[in-house]
Amino acid sequence: MVSRLVLILGDQLSPGIRALREADKARDTVVMAEVADEASYVPHHPKKIAFLFAAMRKFAAELEDDGWTVRYTRLDDPANTGSIPGELLRHADDTGAEEVLATEPGEFRLIAALEDCPVPVHLFEDDRFLASHAAFDDWATDRKTLRMEYFYREMRRRTGILMEEGEPAGGKWNYDSENRKPPPEGLDASGPMQFTPDATVEEVLALVEDRFGDNFGTLRPFWFATTRAEARRHLAHWVRRSLPSFGDYQDAMLSGERFLYHSVTGLYLNAGLLDPREVCDAAEQAWRDGHAPLNAVEGFIRQIIGWREYMRGIYFHHGPDYLDRNALGHDRALPAMFWGGKTDMRCISECVEQTREEAYAHHIQRLMVTGNFALLAGIAPREIHDWYMAAYADAYEWVMAGNTIGMTQFADGGVVASKPYVSSGNYIDRMSDYCKSCAYSVKAKTGQGACPFNLLYWDFLARHRSRFEGNPRMAQMYRTWDRMDEDRRTTIRNEAAAWLSRLDSGEPV
């Protein structure tokens, strides 16, 4: 009987992954590889590279302990071909394997590479998600709009999560209105569980320092979980310590409090160390046990079976061209301050510094600070998408495309969002303490020292009036703009243009 290769990618570190279930432990060989193509197609944060390499090495060891034959290629192996197809071809030549079993990657780029591989690859759909491609397509067919809220309700019904006799627990589908409290004085959050690097992790850290030391991002201290057992301990710690307060303050932003009550489970879910069902079950059980309130648990579960599953569905439903959408025609280059360049905007500097040091920022920091700024300033959507891909440890194209091209940048023309997620400085001031120590004044709408968000917000609305003035959710904004006297509107447009000119020239702003 001819042997086969079983490909396991760095974000497929799940013992029940489809390719392993389809394989025969007695005759097939698992292939795992740290390759330059995957480590450098964007300049990934060093913490992300180290996390995946360390977790891959440990997963490979677990497979060997379980009786699998594993061929593992390290990045610094002299025989390393530098690509996944190259490694498959090399190991096929060595073993005589004539076929590869693989679970579908989460990026069209890599799917195309496997389809063109010299060794025939049998791709199985990744069934670690709760909604299959067919299920999402069935839901999306013939709908005028693909709103996440309605997909989320369908997922609740289908899975039974937070359901009671066919109705949503507590009588409501969504408790988001209870989850927008500004940060209180003296908020004390313990943050995620942190793990001390062992010998395997230290070896990877040395490799990453040598090969990727110039990438944006601080490698040490490194504290991520790198095994499924550690990731499950991390989840249990968060459920016990932080879930009860997560809902109330999930939109809050505080200087020096980088995690607040957020779970930071995204990187473990997206790499396969945690399963979405087990994560949701743990949160739901906390509510049923009286440990966590419903608004916190529902808000968290919505992020998993709502947004996460929905974003994957959007990516595969719309295909590889989705990434190139640019409905608003934005073409400004990403400014240096996103890579740590000097800026007087405290909210941007706080979020970028946190991102550089932690490879993490929570959803409001991404949506309403960096994403909001990029949209208001007219940054090219693909540039900000690629930055998110490079900057965050939980970033993979299937989840980032809908969040950036769709949600934060409105570049898909309204597939994901019914209106652009834009705001002036008032929202950031309400939900954070950033503005208190900013060189700009959030109270100043124009003139010397006016908050750039205030200028750019109205300038954005004026630039795109023909597209948005008929949107019912934006009508009040345009009525407010029209009530301003002409001189004030002219001043706002001129000052916004001058500020953007300084940004384009590379001047610190």
Residue 300 is predicted with a pLDDT of 97
**What is the C-alpha to C-alpha distance for residues 142 and 154, in angstroms, rounded to an integer?**
16
**Residues 4-14, mean pLDDT to the nearest whole number:** 98
- Mean pLDDT value across residues 73-79: 97
Question: Which residues, 6+ apart, have CB-to-CB distance to 436 below 8 Å?
Answer: none
Q: Is the pLDDT assigned to residue 492 strictly greater than 80?
A: yes
Specify the pLDDT at position 87: 98
Section 403-419 average pLDDT? 97
How many Å apart are CA 420 and CA 408, to the nearest integer?
A: 7
| Burial class for 65, CB neighbours closer than 10 Å (0-12, 13-18, 19+) | exposed
Q: Give me the pLDDT at residue 280, please.
A: 98
Note the pLDDT of residue 183.
74
For 176-240, what is the HEC assignment?
A: HHHCCCCCCCCCCCCCCCCCCCCHHHHHHHHHHHHHHCCCCCCCCCCCCCCCHHHHHHHHHHHHH
Token pair 């194209």 is at which residue? 397
| Structure tokens given for 495 | 């000052």
Q: What domains can be seen in the chain, in order of their start residue?
A: 5-124 (3.40.50.620), 133-311 (1.25.40.80), 336-504 (1.10.579.10)
Residue 305 contacts residue 155 (beta carbons within 8 Å): yes
Confidence of residue 177 (pLDDT cuts 50, 70, 90): confident
From first CA to last CA, the distance across the chain in angstroms is 66
What is the token pair recorded at 48? 């992300």
pLDDT value of residue 184:
72
Answer yes or no: are the C-beta atoms of 101 and 6 closer than 8 Å: yes
Sheet of 29-33: strand order equals: 69-73, 29-33, 5-7, 100-103, 121-124
State residue 179's pLDDT score: 81
Enter the pTM of the model.
Answer: 0.96
CB atoms near residue 135 (< 10 Å): 16
Cα–Cα dist 332/382, whole Å: 11
pLDDT tier for residue 187 given thresholds of 50, 70 and 90: confident
Residue, of 84 and 189, whose pLDDT is higher: 84
**Tens digit of pLDDT for each residue in 16-42?**
999 999 999 999 999 999 999 999 999
pLDDT digits (tens, 9 = 90+) for 352-407: 999 999 999 999 999 999 999 999 999 999 999 999 999 999 999 999 999 999 99
Provide the pLDDT for residue 136: 97
Q: Is pLDDT above 80 for 185?
A: no
Residue range 63-85: mean pLDDT, rounded: 98
At 225 the pLDDT is 98
Instruction: List the alpha helices (DSSP H) in 336-371.
Output: 346-358, 363-364
Residue 409: the pLDDT is 98
At 164, is the pLDDT very low, low, confident or very high (cuts 50, 70, 90)?
A: very high
- How many whole angstroms from its chain centre is CA 439? 30
pLDDT tens sequence across 422-463: 999 999 999 999 999 999 999 999 999 999 999 999 999 999
